[in-house]
Amino acid sequence: MTQKLTVLIIEDEHTICDFMAKTLNAHDYKTITAHTGREGLAYLTSSLPDLVLLDLGLPDMDGIEIIKETRQWSSIPIIVISARNQEKEKVGALDIGADDYITKPFGTYELMARIRTAIRHSNKILDDHVNNNRPYSAGGLVVDFEKRRVTVNDKEVHLTRVEYKIVSLLAKNSGKVITYDTIINEVWGPYADDNNRILRVNMANIRRKIEETPGEPKYIFTELGVGYRMLEDENLS
């Protein structure tokens, strides 16, 4: 018998908490619920769940603090679920270690899809070195990390060194939103100008090379004001 994955829900609104718990239970997940930040942190260390669904607006502490504390000792997937829809809130949560961000209200399909993606990424990180270096493949786009080669429908795409670094970073984190600041820091370094213009120019060039219709991308999607998300790797499905 396969052991059920455990999801910790830290949410003070009982109606939303119950909805998420019932939805997850119906999809064969085990759930633990907490209605305060301190209670959630206690369950995190005692129960070691496989994933956390976290509301930011808790009665006793800000959910951002929970992410900070958790990231000091664990890489457990954390999906923020919040009514805060400002771009800076999303960017802040993602930059300090959240894996994804869902804005209330949300539906069952979106919730379950985000959970599956986060868990698959968590399992991929735990895979052996060979599997972690296997090529990214989705919708005809292939990124071979060992050969540093990118193809679309078996035709090689010639990218500059910077363009390849951007595509490689997004491919290795496919299905997840990677913030502008994270991309700039990883590609150009911590002392790079935080102006997003250089990233936008490079992304426009990348899309011209890999997308059939750059204005309607199917591989790299823009999360306005936040960052970019690459189509999920079919190897993770």
122 in the same domain as 66: yes
Do 135 and 215 fall into the same domain?
yes
pLDDT value at residue 121: 74
30 and 117 in a single domain? The answer is: yes
What lies within 8 Å, CB to CB, of 86 at 6+ separation is: none
Instruction: Judge whether 151 lies within some domain.
Output: yes
| End residue of a domain, out of 105, 126, 147 | 126
Please tell me the predicted confidence (pLDDT) of residue 87: 77
Classify residue 206: in a domain, yes or no: yes
Residue with tokens 């890999």: 210
Do 117 and 136 sit in the same domain of this protein? Answer: no
Same domain for 14 and 120, yes or no, is yes
Give residue 190's pLDDT: 67
Predicted local distance difference test score (pLDDT) of residue 130:
40
Q: Is residue 51 part of a domain?
A: yes
Q: What is the pLDDT of residue 125?
A: 47
Tens place of pLDDT per residue across the chain (237 aa): 456 889 999 999 999 999 999 999 999 999 999 999 999 999 988 888 999 999 998 999 999 999 999 988 888 899 999 886 677 888 889 989 899 999 888 889 889 988 988 887 776 544 444 445 689 999 999 999 888 899 999 999 999 988 999 999 999 888 888 899 889 888 887 666 667 888 999 999 999 999 999 999 999 999 888 899 999 888 765
Task: Note whether 11 and 114 are same-domain residues.
Answer: yes
Please indicate, yes or no, if residue 1 is contained in any of the structural domains.
Answer: no
* Sheet strands side by side (includes 30-34): 30-34, 6-10, 51-54, 78-82, 100-103
pLDDT at 127: 46
Domain residues for the domain of 224 are 129-236
Q: Cβ distance 33 to 17 under 8 Å?
A: yes
Which of 68, 99, 126 is the C-terminal boundary of a domain?
A: 126
Q: 27 in helix, strand or coil?
A: coil
State residue 47's pLDDT score: 86
Which CATH number is 54's domain given?
3.40.50.2300
Q: How many domains are contained in the chain?
A: 2
Q: Yes or no: say if 49 and 6 are a contact pair by the CB < 8 Å rule.
A: yes
Sort strands 149-152 and 141-144 into parallel, antiparallel or unpaired.
antiparallel
Distance of alpha carbon 136 from alpha carbon 236, whole angstroms: 9
The answer to whether residues 121 and 134 belong to one domain is no
What local confidence, expressed as pLDDT, does residue 206 receive?
A: 97
Cα gap 124→196, rounded to integer Å: 30
